[in-house]
Amino acid sequence: MEEKEYKGITPDYIDSLLSKQIFVFGSNILGYHTGGASKTARKKFSAVWGQAEGLQGQSYAIPVDYGKGVRNDEEVRAAVERFITFAKEHTDLFFLVTRVGCGTAGYHDEEIAQFFREALGLKNVSLPKSFVDAINSGKVEYDFERFLDAQNSGFATYAEALKEIENGHKIGHWIWYIFPQIKGLGHSHNSEYYGICSKEEAKMYLEHPILGKRLMEITNALLDCKNSSALNILGFPDVLKVQSCMTLFDLVMPNDIFYEVLVKYYDGKPCEKTIKRLGWRDEKQKNKVVLSKLTITKDYSILLSDYNAEVKLEPIVKAIYLLFLNHPEGIVFKCLPDYRKELAEIYQKIKPYGLNDRVIRSIEDATNPLLNSINEKCSRVRAAFQSVVPSALLDQYTITGKSGEAKKISLPRDLVVWE
């Protein structure tokens, strides 16, 4: 590399740096800098063996490789965000980002580039041209021609593969480009060449007007096959490759024909290696909706502490909500007159000296089962919680129940805190 300051685009080849320049490379999670850019960082720019992330000498490591068969997009994205924050805080340094993640980690340039979008505008960061082009285009292009070429004129065509599945016995060598699986599970040239690199690429594959239609067709043929054993139909190890394929596309289009194949031939069990490779289980756990504690403060504010939110209700609606919260067994609407006194007492706690004639009439109306007032108040409760509670959990926090039966708030009472 010439002795000049590079800006904008990172050169393809770097063998020396100026004093304030930093070589940014992708590392495996163990910090073993043995190949590619990581080896260059260790040999030339003082990268530290065993350090997977951060500044080390004139290099900066970003962990992207989680081992064979493992991919964790969210962790990689977070590491890139930490790098960008570091670059913003160290404007005296200039960071030359290499094609991070595009080696053994298995990312395409278009995929990893999106993580660096915010870095594009930083004056002290340069990116590879492939990253810049991908960010500016805003569109990720996938090479699906490799599948079409193989299916139309390869050693075994799609038509031949479909016929074999319909006959209940696979003969040809076509598994990689007919039932593609996630990249990184196999070691052969075909498994790498035809491997799908991400859920995004799998989604685009399924939306392809030819490939998606063919995958659905041959999967339906597999479902319709009279042979009840996937091993007998596909043989070993192709039976495992199809399980991987079904798992991948079930993540893209859940509970459809791909899941039906898993149920019919694999006892409903997905390919664990595929799930691990995509980091899907960790992502699902991270995004899993959980019930928040419901806290009633001393001044009768209603807080959802785990969501960091307050549910605001007008006094009469809040009093009705607290009335039902006091009765986990539920209240049948026709019995509401029996709770009129208790409702008035709750209202007075919320609004001392507020029990005037207008409020008394509101309490009487709300506890009159012949009027619609209680239903209207319950609707207001639901509307207030709807803005802060995940929709899947809304029924846990609101007043619900079948017509004619006790209506209740079904939130577990160990999650209800009265201060």
Crossing angle of helices 238-252 and 211-224, in 10° steps, is 120
Give, in order, the Cα–Cα distances in Å from 371 to each of 193, 381, 408. Answer: 69, 18, 19
**How far does the chain reach from its first CA to its final CA, in angstroms?**
67
- 9 lies in a domain? no
Same domain (yes/no): 241, 209: yes
Among the candidates 137, 160, 179, a domain finishes at 137
Q: Are residues 276 and 302 in the same domain?
A: no
Residues 272 and 150 in one domain: yes
Q: How far is CA 119 from the centre of its chain?
A: 23
pLDDT attached to residue 280? 52
Smallest CA-to-CA distance from 65 within 50, 80, 76 is with 76
Closest by CA to 77, choosing from 336, 279, 354, 287, is 279
Residue 273 sits in the same domain as residue 299:
no
In a domain, 192, yes or no: yes
User: For position 285, what pLDDT does the model report?
Assistant: 43
Residue 237 covered by a domain: yes
CB 71 within 8 A of CB 184: yes
Provide the token pair at 292: 């928040």
The per-residue pLDDT for 328 is 94
Distance of CA 40 to the CA centre of its chain: 34
* Selection from 223, 240, 222, 218 nearest residue 231 by Cα: 240
pLDDT at 364: 94
In one letter, which amino acid is 32? Y
| Cα–Cα distance measured from residue 376 to residue 356, given in angstroms and rounded to the nearest whole number | 21
- Judge if 321 and 367 occupy the same domain: yes
Residues 250 and 309 reside in one and the same domain: no
241 and 304 fall within a common domain: no
Q: What is the mean pLDDT of the chain?
A: 87
Question: Is residue 311 domain-shared with residue 361, that is, in the same domain?
Answer: yes
Q: How many Cβ atoms sit within 10 Å of the Cβ of residue 203?
A: 17
Inside any domain, residue 188: yes
User: What element of type H or E holds 418?
Assistant: strand 416-418
CA distance 49 to 371: 75
112 within domain boundaries: yes
Sheet holding 294-296, edge to edge: 309-311, 302-304, 294-296, 416-418
Identify the bridge partners of residue 55 per DSSP, sorted by sequence position. 60
Element (H, E) at 13: none
Q: What residues make up the domain containing 128?
A: 21-137
Residue 221 belongs to a domain: yes
In sequence order, the 6+-apart residues with CB closer than 8 A to the CB of 395 are: 410
CATH number at residue 186: 1.25.40.380
8 A C-beta contact, residue 382 and residue 409: no
Query: Could you tell me which residues come within 8 angstroms of residue 27 by beta carbon, excluding any fewer than 6 positions away?
Result: 33, 38, 47, 51, 52, 53, 61, 62, 63, 64, 65
Last residue of a domain, one of 285, 302, 328: 285
Q: Give the number of C-alpha atoms closer than 13 A to the C-alpha of residue 192, restricted to the C-beta side.
A: 9
Amino acid at 68: K
Shared domain check, 105 and 202 = no
* Largest separation between any pair of C-alpha atoms in the chain: 88
The torsion defined by the Cα of 228, 234, 240 and 243, in degrees rounded to 10, comes to -60
- Say what the pTM is: 0.45
DSSP annotation of 127 = B
Contact 149, 158 (CB under 8 A): no
Indicate if the alpha-carbon torsion angle 106, 107, 109, 115 is positive or negative: negative
Half-sphere exposure of 111 (CA within 13 A, CB side): 23
Residues of the chain with pLDDT under 50: 1-6, 281-288
Q: What is the DSSP string of 226-256?
A: S---HHHHH-TTHHHHHHHHHHHHHHHSTTS
Residues 100 and 120 in one domain: yes
Task: Verify that 178 and 259 share a domain, yes or no.
Answer: yes
Q: Same domain, yes or no, for 162 and 104?
A: no
Cβ contact 125:86 at 8 Å: no
CATH number at residue 109: 3.40.220.10
The whole-number pLDDT of residue 4 equals 43
Domain assignment of residue 409, yes or no: yes
In 3D space, the residue among 29, 193, 214 whose CA is nearest the CA of residue 105 turns out to be 29
Last residue of a domain, one of 137, 161, 192: 137
Coil, strand or helix: which one is 416?
strand
Rounded Cα gap, residues 315 and 354, in angstroms: 10
User: Considering just the CA atoms, what is the radius of gyration of the chain in Å?
Assistant: 30
Whether 4 is covered by a domain: the verdict is no
**Quick one: pLDDT at residue 321?**
96
Give the integer Cα–Cα distance in Å for 183 and 45. Answer: 31
In the chain, the number of structural domains is 3
